[in-house]
Chain A
Amino acid sequence: MSVRPILAVLILISGAGLTGCNTQSAGNEEVEDPASFYEEKDVSLVIPYDTGGGTDVFGRFVAPYFGEFLSGEPDIQPENIPGGGSITGSNEYANTMEPDGTNLLATSGSTHIPFLLDQASVEYDLSKLNPVLGFPTGGMVYASPSTGIEEPGDLQEVDEELIYAGISASGLDLVTLLAFEVLDLDVEAVMGYEGRGPSRIAFEQGESNIDYQTTSAYKENVEPMEESGEAVPLFTFGQINDQGEMERDPAFPDTPALQEVYEEIHGEKPSGVTWDAYKNFVSAAYTVQKIIWVHDDAPEASKQALKNSVEEMVENEEFLAESEKVMEEYEPFDQEELQELVNNMNNTSEDVVEWVREFLLEEYDTDVEEL
């Protein structure tokens, strides 16, 4: 009985302490200016993936540049919080980390897809985060010559059943599956491979005969096969511009994007909910594949400082030269374009989301409600 009053007092005191802190920091905000905001601060960059993965490499690559270009030159510490295919770390960032501008988040296409699908385990809201820096990547679909396909137009008439080796229907594979759906291809998709590397080996072994790889893996591993006649390039996923239109992938200027293949086969532009779904997911998964975010309710000064630093960074010769090695030939987005693309992603229509959820449930037995 006597515990309760003590507890109450404790809560009161700690509550008062917290409010005290809040007013103090609010008071600081008014006088803070971007130039000095990050002085003598430690910044942590949350990477919701394991060490060594693509997003980890991206985060570790950009972290020192933020340190250099942010005025005040703070120390940027990458912090991996892996788990749940990036959902664990992103949830933690959005809900438990202080929105004080000293915590940043690095995400990838496989963080954006579960958010778009509104998976049950997702507790982060990308519309409450502020994109700071974004990079695109792309993907290329190719087939085995055993299918009899010599050019994309042949896709409708193949010599053997098309078999695709995938990882999980609700991951990045979703874009490929939607591409097949847009073209109305009959593809048997075998899921459960450990990663894109093993699924490429499955292609080389003949276990599958149609596959995709992201740009860097394609250039390194599939182009030699293309030259020796073991792989036939078909189309790229394309890139979505800030108007929502599909363009060719700048890394493969000579290869048609999916839209052109559709036009070649059907003689008209693709349209309808399938096409809208495809475009939305290509944009979220590839066009803005890698993003660095800060909480939207972070102090204005910190957001401004981050913005300034990125503006400088994306103009910097050394950064661009290094990023070409790590991020392929893609260039970082400028701030307005990135914001526009992210807005488009967040405004994906309910109908499209509902359609994709239904598609996953019916075709791939994947119930998004349970993920």
Chain B
Amino acid sequence: MIEAAIEALLTLLDPSRAGFMVLGILIGLTVGLLPGLSGTVGMSLLLPFVFGMDTTSGMALLIGMVAVVHTGDTFPSVLLGIPGTSGSQATIMDGHPLAKKGEASRALGAAFFCSMIGGILGGMALYLTIPLARPLILSFGSPELFMLAMLGLSMVGILAGRSPLKGLISGLLGMMIGSVGSAPAVPEYRYDFDSPYLSNGIPLAVIALGLFAFPALVNMLTANRSISDSPPLSGGILKGIKSSIANKWLMLRSAVFGAIIGFIPGLGGSVVDWISYGVAKKTTQNNYFGEGDIRGVIAPESTNNAKEGGALIPTLLFGIPGSGTTAVLLGGLTLMGLEAGPSMLTSDLNVTLSIIWTLIFANIIGVMFCILLTKPIASLSFVPANKLIPFLIIIIILGAYQSSFAWGDIFIFLGIGLLGLIMESLDWPRAPLLIGFVLSLSAERYLWISVERYEWTWLTNPIVIFIFIIILFLLFGGFLIKRISSSIQQGGARNG
């Protein structure tokens, strides 16, 4: 396979193909940079052009774009506190407070570096898991997928901040909003009020922009000042990279985590950054997450780029898309005369390998572009709000509207936006709502299928029990460790 990998590398580096990759990267960065536009939009934009291209060029274009969306989307998240894509809000939690302190470029530097490492690891994970992918994917049946959704939902408690009850209510509200539209396993529509718009469910981008972008806009307007008062620290990028290296284990762990979650089909990849953030928060000592802790940037940023490599495994090898983006990618493959499936490892292995190389190169090149762009873009945070807002409003409303090109998108955006504003001013956590929203469908779907298929015998599956233990550990582990360590300290003090 190594020889084949080198051959694929040479094919990709052919100037015409490398050109397509760079074009893809530029488009991906732009899509990431504009709030509300996600990788799915980028894919849909590019799809018409891949028809008739040779597979390596077409894939270089598409994968180059996907690989860097989560690098480019860091800019708005850190600088404006507005999610660049619906899959990257967790960076806001600490990235934006850092920007307010004038440490925007340190946060960006750390984010870019982690994105690059995460992306490269994701690509390598794709390469290494190829022989293992089949048995691994086959070991996740509906009961296991249900438990993974539960694992994601257990983050609600961790991300709730000071009040677990508020977090729980927010999460439940999210699940309720997520149940709008056609039910996954029974033939009925819920809360659709006979409106065709609501029968499809509410688009994720509308919820994410409403919850996070709308309150951020209102706050910027009412404060009417620029985001940061303090002058930028020079050499911030390097400082950010140093911070990342100082936290290398967190970075590597989060990247591996992202690749694994991305790899499991059927689990919304769009909350993987929150899950990673939650786990980091739970397992990092002496943290001040939420108030500008650089580790709160490192964890989600390594994860969300690594996720893309992982998500390609089920897509390419089984033809099952793990996200909207990979669903469109499948269409792209068909347009180029390929069919996803086992042949991606045999007769079309060169395509798979060229995809891996594209992931790796795109992550490196994308970060280089971002670092070059940091200075001009970071100066945005010194622009007074009333000059920046009109521009942002247009982009964000367009971002919401592109979800289904219906008026409903804008109305729901405003409605959820008001909800987000109220929640923010009352200090209710909004991340749990988003997680509840994203996971509600898969939780319901897989619970339904598990019970229909196995009644309750699935509760004793080993993987189900294993995930259950992890959930318990995440929920109560920190508390226990604290008690144990304090009792050991006390014991030590007594003995000494």
Spell out A's residues near B (CB within 8 Å): 50-54, 56-57, 60-61, 64, 78, 80-85, 87-88, 91, 121, 163, 165, 168-170, 190-195, 197-198, 200-202, 204-205, 207, 216-217, 219-221, 224, 325-326, 364-367, 370-371
Contact = CB atoms under 8 A, between A and B. Distances in A.
B318 interface: yes
30 contacts: A51-B40, A51-B47, A52-B44, A52-B47, A52-B328, A52-B329, A56-B331, A57-B331, A61-B335, A83-B197, A84-B196, A191-B452, A192-B445, A194-B266, A195-B320, A197-B318, A197-B321, A201-B318, A205-B139, A207-B142, A216-B339, A217-B339, A221-B318, A325-B337, A326-B335, A326-B337, A364-B187, A366-B187, A370-B189, A371-B189
A60 B46 CA distance: 12
A53 B324 CA distance: 11
A198 B265 contact: yes
Interface in B316-339: 318-321, 327-332, 334-335, 337, 339
Interface of B: 40, 43-44, 47-48, 51, 137-139, 141-142, 182, 184-189, 196-197, 199-200, 265-266, 318-321, 327-332, 334-335, 337, 339-343, 404-405, 445, 448-449, 452-453
Given A82-B404, A197-B318, A205 B335 contact: no
A204 B142 CA distance: 12
Contacts of A193: 445, 449
Given A217-B341, A224-B342, 5 more contacts: A88-B196, A201-B138, A201-B320, A219-B339, A365-B187
Nearest to B449: A192
Contacts of A53: 327, 331
A155 to B, nearest CB: 21
Interchain residue pairs A-B with the least CB separation, the first 4: A192-B185, A52-B331, A52-B328, A197-B320
Given A190-B453, A224-B342, A207 B141 contact: yes
Contacts of B445: 192-194
Contact of A84 (B141, B199, B328, B332): B199
A197 B330 CA distance: 12
A76 B343 CA distance: 33
A195 B330 CA distance: 13
B404 A83 contact: yes
A51 B44 contact: yes
Nearest to B324: A50
A364 B44 CA distance: 36
A38 B197 CA distance: 34
Contacts of A60: 47-48, 51, 335
B138 A220 contact: no
A190 B196 contact: no
Contacts of A78: 48
B337 A50 contact: no
A198 B320 contact: yes
A163 B330 CA distance: 28
A367 B329 CA distance: 35
A192 B342 contact: no
Nearest to B41: A51
A370 B188 contact: yes
A192 B451 CA distance: 12
A220 B51 contact: no
Nearest to B47: A51
B138 A205 contact: yes
A201 B137 contact: yes
A207 B319 CA distance: 18
A85 B182 CA distance: 10
Nearest to B452: A190
A88 B197 CA distance: 8
A193 B215 CA distance: 36
Contact of B200 (A84, A198, A224): A84
Given A60-B335, A192-B448, A216-B339, A204 B138 contact: yes
Contacts of A190: 449, 452-453
Contacts of B51: 60-61, 64
A60 B197 CA distance: 25
Given A192-B448, A365-B186, A221 B341 contact: yes
Contacts of B332: 52
Contacts of A366: 187
B43 A217 contact: no
Given A52-B329, A193-B449, A326 B200 contact: no
Nearest to B330: A52
A191 B185 contact: yes
A207 B453 contact: yes
Given A197-B321, A205-B141, A83 B330 contact: no
Contacts of A224: 342
A117 B200 CA distance: 20
Contact of A163 (B137, B329, B337, B453): B453
